[in-house]
Amino acid sequence: MGGLTMDQAFVQAPEHRPKPLVTEATGIPLIDLSPLSASGGAVDALAAEVGAASRDWGFFVVVGHGVPAETMARATEAQRAFFALPAERKAAVRRNEAEPLGYYESEHTKNVRDWKEVYDLVPREPPPPAAVADGELVFENKWPQDLPGFREALEEYAKAMEELAFKLLELIARSLKLRPDRLHGFFKDQTTFIRLNHYPPCPSPDLALGVGRHKDAGALTILYQDDVGGLDVRRRSDGEWVRVRPVPDSFIINVGDLIQVWSNDRYESAEHRVSVNSARERFSMPYFFNPATYTMVEPVEELVSKDDPPRYDAYNWGDFFSTRKNSNFKKLNVENIQIAHFKKSLVLA
């Protein structure tokens, strides 16, 4: 398994511990993207669905997404093969603070250790120089040796994810009545990365979480999860945690904080977490679609007006991303940086 041993570092504060029974979420928007191959009205209708889901839920499930089943199967096979390696083989590609890609088994979310092991990689290698923040982080993949087909499977998966990410970005732009490619330019030199997650069975699933409560800092997250289940989302209507049931051959799309800022709060990113169980291991694979480090993030000018002024001060994505990355490594004495730190206090006349 992951070789994790339960200790105090994993224990969530009482108010954040998972309840023994989490209700299954109902009404989560399930969007079939297959009409995208058609044109005209079908695209507008899809954009409206995506817009409503982004506004009301902050996430949705997509099917008919066009990612070949074989591509998904090869990637999940590669993921399982990697985590089945002996500990020393995984440690050979361990990440560190200067090189944030590779294997890691002691990540923190909101300063509590997560019950999981991960492997991170970037889809585009080597990244353009402009995508490296101040030369301090080296985004080079650490590919495991002697794992046949691993690299090829994940590069193929990454390509399919990028195609899907741009389709979704266009639907979001259209839903906000923006030019279809209005947000594309931010992703010329991406800091996008893919994470392979493995959650081993946990002896104390009532005390620990696979990933603590958080919102995704980037633009979009495209998540593939296996059939075990464990993804919980905080329901807007009553603040309760509800379980997202796995739908075969689907992806869960999370609207990230950047879309919240770009949309000037028309859309809100969803708070989520991962629960673990004592019987079955779980695998998931998120693709974090992130812009270039030099991107200044602020509400899109077409969406602000005298009546609806910008609700956020501009911030630099590279600085923000580096700060967030560092808080994953060690327990910091400060709260993780959030977009709330850039929220303007609006004085209503």
Phi, psi (5° rounding) for residue 84? -80, -10
Percentage, residues of the chain above pLDDT 70: 84
Separation between Cα atoms, residue 121 and residue 124, nearest integer Å? 9
Instruction: Name the residue with tokens 């732009």.
Output: 173
Confirm whether 83 is domain-assigned.
Answer: yes
Parallel, antiparallel or unpaired: strands 59-63 and 30-32: parallel
Structural domains in the chain (count):
1
Q: How confident is the model at residue 182 (pLDDT cuts 50, 70, 90)?
A: very high
Confirm whether 130 is domain-assigned.
Answer: yes
Q: Is 13 exposed, middle or buried (0-12, 13-18, 19+ CB in 10 A)?
A: exposed
Confirm whether 80 is domain-assigned.
Answer: yes
Q: Which of 225, 224, 73 is nearest to 153 (CA)?
A: 73
Q: What are 262's two structure tokens?
A: 């770009």
pTM for the full predicted model = 0.88
Q: How confident is the model at residue 339 (pLDDT cuts 50, 70, 90)?
A: low
Beta-carbon count within 10 A of 278 CB:
10
Phi, psi (5° rounding) for residue 253? -105, 120
Confirm whether 131 is domain-assigned.
Answer: yes
Confirm whether 331 is domain-assigned.
Answer: yes
Mean pLDDT of the chain: 84
Provide the 8-state DSSP code for 24. B
Please tell me the least confidently modeled range out of 155-164, 187-196, 227-236, 262-271: 227-236
| CATH at 102 | 2.60.120.330
Say which residue, 153 or 131, is predicted with more confidence.
153
Q: How confident is the model at residue 348 (pLDDT cuts 50, 70, 90)?
A: very low
CA-CA-CA-CA torsion sign (116, 122, 126, 129): negative
Percentage, residues of the chain above pLDDT 90: 49
Beta-carbon count within 10 A of 247 CB:
15
Confirm whether 5 is domain-assigned.
Answer: no
Confirm whether 347 is domain-assigned.
Answer: no
Mean pLDDT of 252-277: 91
- Print the domain residue range for 184: 17-342
Confirm whether 4 is domain-assigned.
Answer: no
Pair 94, 242: CB distance under 8 Å:
no
Q: How confident is the model at residue 1 (pLDDT cuts 50, 70, 90)?
A: very low
Please tell me the least confidently modeled range out of 3-12, 105-114, 267-276, 287-296: 3-12
Q: What are 148's two structure tokens?
A: 């046949």
